[in-house]
């Protein structure tokens, strides 16, 4: 017993000793798939290399839907972590209003984020009443179609160059024993894929009007009718992909069991981990090959208010580290996302990332759905589309009627 006590006393003394120089900063995030974990390890490495602080990894498995409630309840419950990842947009709105998150404007000004962050809308999404509350770390876009070259070869087809060709190839793929399209069972994947159809087949303006302005007339209109028709086509194609997680669905494409998948550019990290080469083993079609536009959502780190100067100092240091050029390059190459600053060199980027960078440079960008919708609206959309894509008894018209209802009541 006494041995125990001395041991504990020794360890506490040790902790107190190190704390004088550097703080342990707990960072929570939901990056747990192979590619994501490799990317976040880059953050930890850079943070520990450039500062004296220690990165304590607090990964939460199960995706944002599982992780966000855990993070929020820890912050509200008075046990905040050092920093946490959210998708920037309206997810943290109320936490900021309640004064639970730190104002990082000082760091942002010292580092000149206003001048380097590109596109500026990323920083706007972090800004509330002129103060900056988060550090954007990457740009993620949803509007990508990933295709397995080998799957099409096996079915004796050319790799499609746009959505319509892909739909037309569906029956031939199924005959060859390949699931035409992979879709995981988690609700956010269903609504995400639908939003992509809407942004590309309908066009970015349609999405902006409906989600941004709550235009119910537009939601009931002909443009959306076509989108719902495409969604019904997609429902046919995803029959038989019995997986849950997005990376399992991507894996169906990687292993050529499925023809393709609509998924954000983070899927690229999975292809990279599997050793696949863009253009040879797989093909990526930004904007589904129809409308080359990318949304500029992404991930950002927020910093809860903590009553400990050591930790606050570590938070400042982390915020600065996240945006410095080397970190940005190392992280984004692994993650498959685009850097938030235009002045970094992405020589090592692969074909797909280069396509993304070109589109970004050309200015064909649109806001991310998370910036326009609250989580409540997103959750309602999740419910609608996960049901639509899994249950063939719901007609496209019925689904559209429910969609109009959600849009009319959104805030």
Partner 1 sequence: MAATRPNRLFRNLTAKIAAIPMILTALVVFVGGTVWTVTYSFTSSKLLPKTKFVGLDQYERLWNTPRWLVSIENLLIYGICMMVLSLVIGFVLAALLDQKIRYENTFRTILLYPFALSFIVTGLVWQWLLNPDFGIQSVIQRLGWQSFDFDPLYNADIVIYGVLIAGLWQGSGLVMCLMLAGLRGIDQEIWKASRVDGIPAWKTYIFIVIPMMRPVFITTLVIIASGIVRLYDLIVAQTGGGPGIASDVPAKYVYDYMFQGQNLGQGFAASTMMLLAVLVIVVPWAYLEFGGKKRV
Binding-site ranges for partner 1 (CB under 8 A) = 65, 68-69, 72-73, 76, 91, 93-95, 98, 185-186, 242, 244, 374-376, 378-380, 383, 386-391, 402, 405, 409
Which two three-digit tokens encode residue 332?
């984004």
Supply the minimum distance, in Å, between the C-beta of residue 287 and partner 1: 27
Main-chain dihedrals φ then ψ at residue 337, nearest 5 degrees: -105, 175
Nearer to partner 1 among residue 65 and residue 203 (C-beta): 65
Decide if 345 contacts 281 (C-beta within 8 A).
no
- Taking only Cα atoms into account, the Rg of the chain, rounded to an integer number of angstroms, comes to 22
Nearer to partner 1 among residue 38 and residue 305 (C-beta): 305
Supply the minimum distance, in Å, between the C-beta of residue 33 and partner 1: 17
d(CA 136, CA 7): 42
Nearer to partner 1 among residue 334 and residue 410 (C-beta): 410
Nearer to partner 1 among residue 94 and residue 175 (C-beta): 94
Supply the minimum distance, in Å, between the C-beta of residue 214 and partner 1: 16
d(CA 146, CA 253): 8
Supply the minimum distance, in Å, between the C-beta of residue 125 and partner 1: 17
d(CA 325, CA 345): 8
Nearer to partner 1 among residue 278 and residue 381 (C-beta): 381
Supply the minimum distance, in Å, between the C-beta of residue 187 and partner 1: 8
Supply the minimum distance, in Å, between the C-beta of residue 396 and partner 1: 15
Strand ranges (E), 38-138 = 54-59, 83-87, 127-128, 131-132, 134-136
How many Cα atoms sit within 13 Å of 66 on the Cβ side? 11
Which two three-digit tokens encode residue 249?
């669905």
Nearer to partner 1 among residue 301 and residue 388 (C-beta): 388
d(CA 116, CA 130): 17
d(CA 269, CA 256): 17
């Amino acid at each position: 017993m006494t041995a125990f006590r001395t041991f504990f006393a020794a360890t506490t003394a040790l902790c107190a000793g190190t704390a004088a120089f550097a703080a342990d900063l707990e960072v929570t995030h939901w990056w747990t798939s192979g590619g994501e974990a490799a990317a976040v390890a880059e953050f930890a490495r850079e943070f520990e290399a450039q500062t004296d602080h220690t990165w304590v990894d607090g990964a939460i498995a199960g995706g944002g839907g599982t992780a966000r409630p855990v993070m929020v309840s820890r912050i509200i419950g008075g046990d905040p972590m050092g920093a946490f990842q959210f998708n920037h947009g309206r997810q943290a709105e109320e936490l900021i209003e309640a004064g639970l998150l730190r104002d990082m404007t000082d760091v942002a000004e010292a580092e000149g984020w206003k001048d380097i962050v590109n596109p500026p809308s990323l920083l706007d999404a972090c800004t509330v009443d002129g103060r900056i509350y988060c550090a954007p770390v990457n740009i993620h876009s949803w509007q990508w179609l990933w295709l397995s070259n080998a799957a099409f070869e096996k079915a004796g087809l050319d790799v499609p160059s746009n959505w319509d060709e892909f739909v037309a190839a569906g029956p031939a793929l199924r005959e060859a024993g390949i699931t035409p399209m992979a879709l995981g069972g988690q609700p956010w994947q269903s609504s995400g894929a639908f939003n992509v159809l809407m942004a590309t087949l309908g066009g970015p303006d349609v999405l902006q009007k409906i989600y941004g302005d709550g235009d119910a007339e537009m939601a009931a209109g002909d443009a959306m009718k076509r989108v719902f028709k495409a969604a019904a086509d997609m429902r046919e194609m995803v029959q038989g992909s019995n997986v849950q997680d997005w990376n399992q669905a991507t894996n169906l494409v990687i292993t050529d069991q499925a023809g393709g998948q609509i998924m954000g550019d983070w899927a690229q990290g999975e292809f990279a981990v599997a050793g696949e080469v863009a253009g040879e083993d797989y093909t990526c079609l930004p904007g589904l090959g129809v409308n080359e536009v990318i949304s500029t959502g992404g991930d950002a780190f927020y910093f809860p208010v903590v009553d400990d100067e050591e930790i606050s100092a570590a938070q400042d240091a982390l915020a600065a580290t996240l945006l410095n050029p080397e970190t940005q390059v190392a992280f984004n190459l692994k993650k498959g996302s685009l850097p938030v600053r235009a002045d970094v060199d992405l020589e090592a980027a692969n074909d797909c990332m280069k396509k993304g960078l070109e589109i970004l440079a050309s200015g064909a960008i649109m806001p991310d759905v998370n910036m326009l919708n609250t989580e409540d609206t997103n959750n309602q959309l999740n419910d609608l589309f996960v049901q639509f894509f899994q249950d063939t008894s719901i007609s496209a018209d019925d689904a559209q009627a429910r969609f109009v209802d959600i849009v009319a009541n959104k805030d």
